[in-house]
Structure 1
């Protein structure tokens, strides 16, 4: 992904996950934005974006953060919203364990209070250690925390699987955490 695409991708994340009002668009209750309106309003904020470039960003984003509807008339972020939306996800049975990547400086707090969603709608978990490691590296020395996901599910916690393979849940209490 080129630097230009990275810049626009980050801006799309801001707009579609956290602040649609930053460019004057409205998301529907499922988080969808009108594709044409999004392109027009992004271009008014010192960006050069056309449909083909937007499609290229969606198709090549390594984290698969965005998705079009089947008609390409609407676009949304797959997860990570700090604004209330209904992604229409159905509860799923998670694998035995999932992983959460964090930085060393946050481990003490996590072990005391569990993993909290903070300003997002869900806690994000990964099926792969490698992905958790990459997430943890963004904030400092990485630490991978193992989450006893299947045990959580058996004890009443709900899990969802987003379109791009990220496992989501409301919280992870400390009793389900293990440090790798």
Structure 2
């Protein structure tokens, strides 16, 4: 039977470490580490633990969203008997979307929280940001502004291309809303730079237009 590579499968290059895909950037096919199926399982529990329900898993999270990586690993090892600490390490090191941040023995999700945390990121200092949405929602947003839905913050993209990618998850006909971030900040609206995305409590309609 043909041995086909699983989507999301994690491998390890002896020179460059963990990677996802057919081969490392150096061309090395790598050593198998984790199947795509198991990587998806770990991804879901990591996301839940760091964004939505740390207390349910017995994790202590500080006000800025940090938890102990050691404690998180123990939770995962208890839930999945096949999971090992190097699997968790591989998950974080192969995350190409910048969803997570590590600092020593601490780890946190950069964005996507349904929890009420206090991000301590620097303020975004650019002029424009973007929000991708559907045709149906665009008119409503332009009328009432951008407000969080199922998350504690509004997530804004730094480029039109990224906004399109986000919108295409939900719709085949994305509409891109341009945010005048500079003018919004001048009125006292806080916009935080979380790396891949920017976070804010809300953006009033007066600072929005179709991009």
1:123 aligned residue (145, 154, 157) = 154
> How many angstroms does 1:7 deviate by?
3.3
Structure 2 residue 100 is the aligned partner of structure 1 residue 66: yes
Structure of higher RCO (CA pairs closer than 8 Å, 6+ residues apart): 1
Q: What TM-score, normalized by structure 1, do the two folds share?
A: 0.87
2:165 aligned residue (122, 125, 134) = 134
CA 39–151 in structure 1, closer or farther in 2 if over 3 Å, else same: same
Computing the radius of gyration over CA atoms, which structure comes out larger, 1 or 2? Answer: 2
Structure 2 residue 189 is the aligned partner of structure 1 residue 145: no
Q: Which has the higher helix share?
A: 1
| Structure 1: gaps of 5 or more residues | none
Tell me if the contact between 2:97 and 2:196 (Cα under 8 Å) persists in the aligned partners.
no
Give the superposed CA RMSD: 1.9
Which residue of structure 2 aligns with residue 90 of structure 1? Answer: 122
CA 85–107 in structure 1, closer or farther in 2 if over 3 Å, else same: same
Tell me if the contact between 1:23 and 1:42 (Cα under 8 Å) persists in the aligned partners.
no
Which residue of structure 1 aligns with residue 187 of structure 2? Answer: 155
- Return 45-54 or 55-64, whichever deviates more: 45-54
The size of the alignment, in residue pairs, is 176
1:13 aligned residue (29, 32, 47) = 47
- Return 105-114 or 169-178, whichever deviates more: 105-114
Structure 2 residue 84 is the aligned partner of structure 1 residue 50: yes
